[in-house]
């Protein structure tokens, strides 16, 4: 019997010589029931969980044992809102003109690794330049280390809207981007944009239903799509089997998104009780991104960090997200875990757990939102989100029981993805 903790570091991430891997777990979180179970062995064969057995079991001479007896073990976390290509800085706006696609690609590999090392084994990327699609492929092939990615490719907006890539540019650079670039102005444009995303290799569709905080445009909350445009987009996405998401801060834009068939509302800052009721009725999910709200609020205080038009919106909108989340949770709005990582440093995604708990959501419910709930939304509920026989071996561990200390989730000490170990302390 081999013990992983005394094997050479070069074996981390492969375990190719091991027939099976035995994880001796002091505690296991059953995310479905919310119970914490003691003294279990997870048997991993290839990339899947073969069995979960009582006590500390052993295999044959060629099998590997990993000692997690002093840890609390959970399924890998799923973040439904990241931007894996970039990371906010005081140089972000000028970098639109100075970074080449290759520069973006190389830096994205660092962000991907940081995300995985934080225990997030799956993410939904909600908009970038298209490098996110290539990154997804590279990770799936094993060329790059990172989480499993479901990506929207380039988000869809309207002319001058939050996802118009030429916002804030001088006139001779603005041009007139269209559906290929993710800018639409009619139901027919919307259909074409979805089909283009599918052709490009996107997995999901994201629209910007309202103005946004970080775009160089005046409003952070006005509705930016008609109901007819949204319906054209969601109906086309359904034909192609694609989950839909809508960035939305303003209430009217949220209502149009829900009525138009959007499944997840991102941010939801100025959501009214009426919209909350509408989301409950239509089983639409709120992805709160509290961490992003906290981050932009703090950065707006730094002179010159944001353009003036952005700093004003960040100061007004950022502080309101956590309070909205508290109201939505109490009212019974379905919640999916998502952070908007990239607005803040990748790898700090677990801060969201702390803010959700601060707002009154029991930590086991927050963990469930980041595992079972998100796996189901991604159509992966039979493969991801639980420690269960036959599921992919996405497994993470922390030093303490999160019921006793939610902060422990910010310090993941063990990461396995599809049976390969990437982190052991």
104-129 pLDDT, tens digit per residue, is 999 999 999 999 999 999 999 999 99
Same domain for 172 and 257? yes
Report the CATH number at residue 189. 3.20.20.140
Q: Are residues 285 and 328 in contact, defined by beta-carbon separation less than 8 angstroms?
A: no
- CATH number for the domain that contains residue 53: 2.30.40.10
273 and 327 inside one domain: yes
53 and 198 inside one domain: no
**What confidence tens digit (pLDDT) does each residue in 256-291 have?**
999 999 999 999 999 999 999 999 999 999 999 999
Overall domain count for the chain: 2
Domain that holds residue 319: 77-377
Q: Please indicate, yes or no, whether residues 86 and 194 belong to a single structural domain of this protein.
A: yes
Question: Are 158 and 252 members of one domain?
Answer: yes
Asked if 36 and 138 sit in the same domain, the reply is: no
Distance of alpha carbon 314 from alpha carbon 292, whole angstroms = 10
Same domain as 328, residue 221: yes
82 and 12: one domain? no
Q: Positive or negative, the Cα torsion across 362, 366, 371, 376?
A: positive
Residues 27 and 148 in one domain: no
> DSSP class of residue 389?
T
335 and 352 share a domain?
yes
Q: Are strands 64-75 and 285-287 parallel, antiparallel or unpaired?
A: unpaired
Question: Of 318, 279, 315, 386, which is closest to residue 33 (Cα–Cα)?
Answer: 386
pTM, full prediction? 0.94
Enter the DSSP assignment of 177. -
User: Across the strands, what pairs with 398?
Assistant: 72
Which range, of 8-17, 259-268, 312-321, averages the lowest pLDDT? Answer: 8-17
Conformational region of residue 241, where left means phi above 0, alpha means psi within -120 to 50, and beta covers everything else: left
Confidence of residue 220 (pLDDT cuts 50, 70, 90): confident
Query: Do residues 242 and 186 both lie within one domain?
Result: yes
Same domain, 347 and 237: yes
């Amino acid at each position: 019997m081999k013990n992983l903790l005394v094997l050479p570091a070069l074996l981390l991430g492969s375990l190719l010589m091991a027939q099976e891997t035995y994880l001796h777990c002091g505690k296991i979180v059953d995310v479905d029931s919310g119970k914490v179970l003691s003294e279990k062995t997870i048997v991993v064969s290839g990339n899947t969980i073969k069995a979960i057995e009582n006590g500390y079991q052993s295999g044959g001479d060629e099998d590997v044992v990993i000692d997690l007896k002093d840890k609390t073990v959970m399924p890998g976390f799923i973040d439904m809102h990241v931007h894996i290509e970039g990371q906010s800085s005081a140089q972000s706006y000028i970098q639109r003109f100075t970074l080449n696609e290759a520069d973006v690609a190389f830096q994205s590999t660092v962000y991907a690794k940081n995300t995985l090392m934080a225990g997030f084994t799956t993410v939904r990327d909600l908009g970038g330049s298209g490098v996110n699609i290539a990154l997804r492929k590279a990770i799936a092939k094993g060329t790059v280390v990172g989480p499993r990615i479901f990506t929207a490719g380039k988000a869809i907006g309207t002319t001058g809207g939050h996802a118009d890539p030429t916002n804030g540019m001088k006139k001779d650079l603005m041009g007139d981007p269209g559906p290929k670039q993710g800018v639409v102005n009619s139901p027919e444009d919307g259909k074409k944009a979805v089909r283009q995303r599918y052709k490009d290799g996107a997995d999901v569709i994201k629209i910007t239903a309202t103005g946004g905080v970080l775009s160089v445009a005046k409003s952070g909350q006005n509705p930016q799509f008609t109901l007819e445009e949204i319906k054209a987009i969601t109906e086309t996405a359904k034909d192609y089997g694609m989950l839909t998401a809508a960035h939305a801060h303003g209430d009217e834009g949220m209502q149009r998104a829900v009525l138009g068939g959007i499944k997840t509302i991102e941010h939801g800052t100025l959501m009214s009780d009426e919209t909350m009721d509408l989301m409950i009725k239509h089983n639409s999910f709120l992805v709160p991104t509290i961490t992003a709200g906290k981050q932009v609020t703090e950065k707006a205080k730094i002179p010159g960090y944001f353009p003036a038009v952005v700093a004003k919106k960040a100061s007004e909108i950022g502080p309101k997200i956590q309070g909205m989340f508290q109201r939505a949770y109490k009212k019974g709005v379905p919640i999916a875990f998502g952070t908007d990582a990239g607005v803040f440093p990748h790898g700090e995604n677990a801060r969201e757990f702390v803010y959700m708990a601060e707002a009154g959501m029991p930590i086991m419910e927050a963990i469930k939102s980041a595992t079972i709930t998100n796996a189901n939304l991604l159509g992966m509920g039979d493969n991801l989100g639980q420690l269960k026989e036959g599921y992919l071996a996405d497994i993470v561990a922390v030093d303490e029981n999160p019921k006793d200390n939610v902060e422990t989730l910010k310090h993941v000490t063990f990461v396995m993805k599809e049976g390969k170990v990437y982190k052991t302390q």
